[in-house]
Structure formats: C-alpha cells, structure tokens
Amino acid sequence: MSVTGLAGDALFLAVLTAVAVPLGRYMYGVLEGEKTFLDRIFGPLERVIYRFGGIDPNKGMNWRKYLSAFLLANLVMAVLVYLILVFQTSLPLNPAKLGPISPTTIFNTVASFIANCNWQVYAGETTLSNFSQWALQYLQFTSPASGLVVAIAFARGFVAGRQDLGNF
C-alpha cells in the first residue's frame, strides 16, 4: 500500500474516532426523545410529516401497531419501486432507452432490496434506467433504516417491559 493510501486510511480513522462520541450522544438523545440542537432546524418539517400522517408524536405504539406500521411502510415502498421498474420504459431519465425487465427479475430485485440483501441478478446500467437505479438507491437507504428502528423498538420492549415502543 502506498504512503498516500495509508495517510488516507489514518485520516479516515481519525475522523471516525473524533465523531464517534458526539454522534453517539446525539443518536441517544434522539432515540430517547430528548431535545437536540437539530430540533430547531428539523422540528418544523417533522411536525408537518406527523400532521400529514395523522401521527401523535406524544403517543407511542404497542408492538402490534408498530409491526403493522413497519409492514405497511415496507409494502408501500416495495410496490412503489416495483411499479417504477415495471414502467421504466415510460418514465423519465431513461436516456439509453432501455427496454422492459422480466417480471421475475423485477420481483427478485425488489424483494432483495426491500430485505436489504441488495442481490442483483441483472447487468446494472444495461438493464436499469437512471430513474430505476435511483429507486433502488432509495431502498438502500430506507431498508436499513427500517431495520434499525425495529431493532431499537425491540430493545425498548425489553427495558422495564415497556409497552410503548415509540412511533415507527
């Protein structure tokens, strides 16, 4: 490995070490519902989203409601991305004029990305339009985020037998 490569690795580790504790404290505060310095910036947007979704942020969910919200959110995301892949020939951002994808490949791809496996059985840029690839990138963010919040809810369920798991 070159000196430049080692210096880059050392810089990366130094930055990662420097932000670990502050980021950990921030995440703890968010997950415990404490006020954070970003509430002033993101609070108004968060309230709009809660209002639009009909969610009372002060009222948590039991495990059945939480599971239902998780499954419904992931079903909606999967159907949305499935439809994007089905209709990729008619949607924008297809400069290569890529054709349709087989239904089995679409199902396999969406199921894989919604489950955070990201298994690809197609040839990337020769199969998927830019818009379709963007849709899969969306799932690459939301799928692990869903898993993270379910893991947090699972942990909350063990803390003093809490019935209130928060809001999905």
DSSP 42-70: HHHHHHHHHHHHT--TTS---HHHHHHHH
| 116 and 87 within one domain | yes
42: domain range? 1-58
Q: How far is Cα 140 from Cα 118, in angstroms, rounded to an integer?
A: 8
Instruction: State the Cα angle at 115 between 54 and 122, rounded to 5°.
Output: 125
Q: Out of 58, 77, 104, pick the residue that ends a domain.
A: 58
Q: Which two tokens stand for residue 77?
A: 């995301």
Instruction: State residue 106's pLDDT score.
Output: 94
User: In angstroms, what CA-CA distances link 6 with 13, 16, 19, 20, 81?
Assistant: 11, 15, 20, 21, 40
**Same domain assignment for residues 71 and 30:** no
Last residue of a domain, one of 9, 27, 58: 58
Q: What is the CA radius of gyration of the chain?
A: 20
Q: Which of 52, 50, 72 is nearest to 60 (CA)?
A: 50
Residues 51 and 94 in one domain: no
**Whole-number pLDDT of residue 125:** 76
Q: Based on the fold, state whether residues 87 and 76 are members of the same structural domain.
A: yes
- Examine the fold and report which residue of 14, 36, 58 is the final residue of a domain before the chain moves on: 58
Specify whether 51 is located in the same domain as 69.
no
**Looking at the structure, do residues 154 and 108 belong to the same domain, yes or no?**
yes
Q: Tell me: do 126 and 65 sit in the same domain.
A: yes
Q: Are residues 97 and 157 in the same domain?
A: yes
The single residue listed with the structure tokens 């999967």 is: 78
- Report the predicted TM-score, pTM, of the whole model to 2 decimal places: 0.79
Q: What CA–CA distance (Å, rounded) separates 64 from 48?
A: 25
In this structure, the answer to whether residues 53 and 72 fall within a common structural domain is: no
Q: Could you give the CA distance from residue 155 to residue 122 in angstroms, rounded to a whole number?
A: 37
In the chain, how many domains are there? 2
Same domain, 93 and 54: no
| pLDDT under 70: residue ranges of the chain | 160
Question: Do 106 and 166 fall into the same domain?
Answer: yes
